[in-house]
Amino acid sequence: MNDAPPPLFPPSAQPPQAQQPYQAPPPPKRGCGKGLGCGLGCLVVVVLCVVGLVFAGIAGKKWVEGKLDEYTSTESVPLEAPQAAPDEVAAAVTKFDEFKNGMDAGGTPVPLTLTGEELNLIIWNHPSFSALAGKANVEINDDQLNSRVSVNFGDLPLPEGGFFDKNLDGKFFNGEVALKLGMAAGRPGLHMENLSVNGVAIPEAFMTGLRTHNLLEEAAKNPEATAFLDRIEDMRIEGGQLIVVPKPAP
């Protein structure tokens, strides 16, 4: 295996119990947990949520409170499903399944290399990405991942009550985001390069700070995403491809 490239970013049995009367389960919390797969599927959905949360944090700033109509929408933006022959869809899904099965307990890890077209086909057609299908399109340009996103704020794990419920109820986050991926201190790092919402670029004064924020630090708060990240030796975007190299099986 070739050496990984230099970091893109700096380090920074219970006793039986008496039968209890049936109780209805609590209502589900808002967030990204519903319908998640594991591994990379879970990670991508969590990152989508983090991007939305970053914007929601921006939306809490006074400079945008009077401009919510400009930075949010009452309607989603239709995203076009990728077009491909059935055998191309099957090949992309099979490639991901081979990687996913290798990451399961007892499996033999294998590297994963995907073009932007293949990643789109997987997002729209693989069950592990069902929570993301129809909400994001991606393309890879050289070493950068670009994505168009349209997601209801109600599907994001926003704090309940106060500003968020009052101002973002029924609103949509429609944006375009540019991301860079690389290794930092032995762990994957994902950084936002640019972000626009409803066609309006986020002011550079805020982007300067956002570019230093590793989105995967937030994603790693999800146990499934953490388990996945701990098994990765290298993850990067290079030459128009997403490359994921797992650690050898223990």
148-207 pLDDT, tens digit each: 989 888 777 666 666 666 777 788 889 899 989 999 888 888 888 988 888 888 888 888
Quick one: what percent of the chain has pLDDT higher than 70?
Answer: 68
Answer yes or no: is 98 within a domain.
yes
Answer yes or no: is 17 within a domain.
no
Q: What is the pLDDT of residue 60?
A: 63
Q: What is the pLDDT of residue 112?
A: 93
Residue-range definition of the domain harbouring residue 94: 40-246
Mean pLDDT of the chain: 76
Answer yes or no: is 196 within a domain.
yes
Q: What is the pLDDT of residue 240?
A: 92
Q: What is the pLDDT of residue 22?
A: 30
pLDDT at 24 over 70: no
Residue 51 or residue 21, greater confidence: 51
Answer yes or no: is 78 within a domain.
yes
Our count of domains for the chain comes to: 1
The answer to whether the beta carbons of residues 71 and 207 sit under 8 Å apart is: no
Residue 125 or residue 64, greater confidence: 125
Closest CA relative to residue 39, chosen from 96, 106, 108: 96
pTM: 0.75
Answer yes or no: is 116 within a domain.
yes
Answer yes or no: is 44 within a domain.
yes
Answer yes or no: is 166 within a domain.
yes
